[in-house]
């Protein structure tokens, strides 16, 4: 997606063909800086820039390197104190703030509150490395997780751009992120490769350009033993880049993200092997005190949102063209979600992508997706796993058991570009439980390789379906092929009878007319959808809004903020 203005951000390190599996790229300008910082932490520049690192210094090349520190202007970039010295971002092109490794990196934790405001003229805050908020603590080493920590505040309309495969935003236990945009001024978290001044090679942004957002909470996860949790020694390790999470408080708050876009993040398998990935948004043991609303996650290289336990809630979420799973549930998540729109798609790569994978003998190898490769993006709309660990020593945390309403998943019939796995609406595994309402799963009618919408991977999940602790209500399966041939059998019940649920849901065996002329909303005049939506009143839960339609968004609701959010998200994805 080649965007302009607020959303056009690009990556300094694309010249190095970084593919999401390397370390922080440290880009340090050479500057003769005679700036004077006043008491308001604003700086008047009187410097001469002789930078030669192609990261934003003035190399007399017309500014294509991100260039031209501004002379004689007030610096609006954030400053902070590091080891007794004040460090401030460089103000460039009268638009952007650039922060090198002296300000933030994977070796520097920010222990004070920090705020990023929207910059004028479509400017972005661009980071060479990771932005670590709060102190990571593995309590087995003698440290103590603090009661409170610093807050990262991101104001409406702000663009935060990152220039490394390991450049993540990581929120430690007790720290918070408060990134609440508005419909008119959403926040953007993205690759630095979408900002023209920093896009040296001109490739533009692509998946795996940066690491994504990782939030570590103090909620319950069955990655810890009962005795560890009771002793305050629950320190589950995060995937992708190691830090620690978990505790006893499923009502804990790690902050809120609202009206925000998370683009081009994630990674393929890292040095730990398959499964050791960075996602666009990872919620590790995040409690119900946090909320995540009106998000658009696009073109991540692993999952869109992954839960590892906790009880955080989702509402008004769009996930487009993400390589692996759009929503990945694991390790005992007990949250709620409503209004989730997922669409798998296609891509043509702009540059080589290298990542750690496995060969046919399960040995780790470096794999490459070459520039110009055309392929599909998307494995599962929902990958649902109940637990990481089984046994009495873990049973204080029950398997994942979410309540989810008003979902649309539109799959392809292709196999994904990274792992050649099929595009499916949902997979059920590891004793997963849950109740789904008003769900619409769609597979196009031009099927060529018979991929199916639903897959039962695990016998325990199949048993839970038969026991009615995993069920769909007032839902429509509009797929050419419904269940995979390899699905585990349900004890005493067929897959189709389970979905039918005593006529509470229907199977169409086709796409039919379930989508309206706009291509995404549920067709209010559909002749194929013959059931009534569940109004959700019986849930007796203020979180769930009363509805009269199946799927994520209704064709009768075109003036709502949610309809407009989905429409804009899909238009942006289609341009990419």
Question: Residue 299 pairs with which residues in a beta bridge?
Answer: none
Tokens of 116: 């990023």
| Phi and psi based region of residue 184 (left: phi greater than 0; alpha: psi -120 to 50; beta: remaining) | alpha
3-state secondary structure of 135: coil
- Could you report the average pLDDT of every consecutive run of 10 residues in the chain (576 residues)? 36 34 32 30 35 32 43 86 96 96 96 97 96 97 95 98 93 98 98 91 93 98 96 95 96 98 90 82 98 98 97 98 97 98 95 84 87 94 96 96 98 89 96 98 73 95 97 96 94 96 95 96 97 97 98 97 98 94
Per-residue pLDDT, 275: 76
Look at strands 125-127 and 131-133 and give their pairing: unpaired
Tokens of 533: 């939506």
566 CB-side CA count, 13 A: 27
Residues contacting 467, CB < 8 A, separation 6+: none
How far is residue 512's CA from residue 517's CA, in Å, rounded to a whole number? 12
Closest by CA to 247, choosing from 261, 232, 237, 262, is: 232
How far is residue 451's CA from residue 419's CA, in Å, rounded to a whole number? 15
Give the angle subtended at the CA of 79 by the CAs of 76 and 84, to the nearest 5°: 155
The H-or-E segment that residue 461 falls in is helix 459-466
How far is residue 76's CA from residue 116's CA, in Å, rounded to a whole number? 10
Q: How many residues does the chain have?
A: 576
CATH of 96-574, one of 2.160.20, 1.10.533, 3.30.230, 1.10.10: 2.160.20
In this structure, the number of other CB atoms found within 10 A of the CB of residue 146 comes to 15
Q: Say what the pTM is.
A: 0.88
Torsion of CA 425, 427, 432, 438, to 10 degrees: 10
Per-residue pLDDT, 447: 54
Tokens of 428: 């059920």
How far is residue 103's CA from residue 83's CA, in Å, rounded to a whole number? 11
Per-residue pLDDT, 56: 34
How far is residue 147's CA from residue 249's CA, in Å, rounded to a whole number? 12
Contact 30, 53 (CB under 8 A): yes
Q: How big is the chain by its Cα radius of gyration, in Å? A: 24
Residues contacting 560, CB < 8 A, separation 6+: none
Compute CA distances 39 → 44, 77, 249, whole Å.
12, 14, 40
């Amino acid at each position: 997606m080649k965007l302009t203005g607020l959303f056009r951000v690009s990556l300094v390190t694309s010249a190095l063909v970084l593919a999401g599996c390397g370390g922080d790229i440290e880009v340090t300008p050479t500057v003769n800086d005679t700036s004077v910082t006043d008491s308001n932490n604003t700086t008047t520049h009187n410097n001469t820039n002789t930078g030669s690192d192609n990261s934003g210094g003035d190399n007399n090349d017309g500014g294509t390197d991100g260039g031209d520190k501004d002379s004689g202007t007030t610096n609006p970039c954030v400053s902070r104190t590091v080891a007794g010295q004040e460090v401030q971002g460089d103000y460039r092109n009268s638009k952007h703030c650039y922060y090198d490794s002296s300000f933030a990196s994977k070796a520097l934790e920010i222990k004070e509150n920090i705020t990023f405001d929207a910059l004028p003229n479509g400017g972005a805050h661009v980071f060479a490395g990771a932005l670590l908020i709060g102190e990571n603590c593995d309590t087995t080493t003698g440290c103590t997780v603090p009661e409170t920590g610093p807050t990262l505040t991101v104001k409406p309309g702000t663009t935060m751009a990152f220039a490394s495969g390991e450049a993540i935003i990581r929120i430690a236990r007790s720290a918070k992120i408060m990134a609440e945009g508005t419909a008119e001024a959403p926040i953007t978290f993205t690759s630095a490769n979408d900002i023209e001044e920093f896009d040296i090679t001109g490739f533009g942004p692509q998946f795996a350009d940066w690491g994504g957002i990782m939030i570590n909470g103090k909620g319950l996860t069955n990655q810890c033993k009962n005795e560890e949790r009771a002793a305050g020694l629950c320190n589950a390790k995060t995937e992708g880049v190691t830090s620690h999470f978990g505790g006893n408080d499923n009502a804990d708050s790690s902050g809120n993200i609202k009206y925000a876009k998370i683009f081009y993040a994630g990674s393929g398998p890292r040095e730990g092997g398959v499964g050791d990935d960075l996602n666009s948004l990872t919620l590790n043991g995040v409690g119900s005190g946090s909320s995540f609303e009106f998000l658009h996650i696009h073109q991540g290289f692993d999952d869109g949102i992954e839960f590892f336990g906790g009880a955080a809630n989702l509402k008004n979420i769009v996930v487009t063209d993400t390589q692996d799973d759009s929503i990945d549930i694991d390790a005992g998540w007990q949250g709620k979600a409503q209004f989730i729109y997922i669409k798998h798609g296609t891509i043509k790569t702009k540059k080589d992508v290298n990542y750690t994978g496995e060969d046919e003998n399960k040995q780790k190898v470096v794999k490459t997706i070459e520039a110009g490769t055309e392929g599909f993006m998307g494995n599962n709309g929902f990958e649902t796993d109940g637990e990481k660990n089984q046994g009495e020593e873990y049973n204080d945390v029950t398997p994942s058991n979410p309540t989810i309403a008003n979902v649309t998943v539109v799959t392809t019939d292709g196999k994904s570009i990274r792992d050649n796995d099929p595009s499916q609406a949902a997979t059920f595994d590891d004793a997963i439980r849950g109740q789904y309402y008003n769900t619409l799963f769609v597979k196009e009618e031009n099927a060529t390789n018979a991929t199916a919408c639903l897959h039962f991977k695990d016998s325990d999940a199949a048993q839970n379906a038969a026991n009615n602790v995993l069920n769909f209500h007032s839902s429509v399966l509009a797929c050419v092929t419904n269940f995979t041939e390899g699905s585990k059998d349900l004890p005493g019940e067929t897959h189709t009878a389970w979905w039918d649920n005593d006529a509470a849901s229907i199977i169409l065996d086709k796409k039919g007319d379930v989508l309206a002329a706009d291509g995404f909303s549920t067709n209010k005049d559909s002749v194929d959808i013959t059931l009534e939506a569940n109004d959700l009143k019986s849930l007796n839960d203020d979180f769930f809004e009363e509805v009269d339609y199946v799927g994520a968004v209704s064709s009768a609701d075109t003036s709502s903020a949610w309809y407009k959010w989905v429409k804009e998200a899909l238009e942006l994805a289609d341009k990419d």
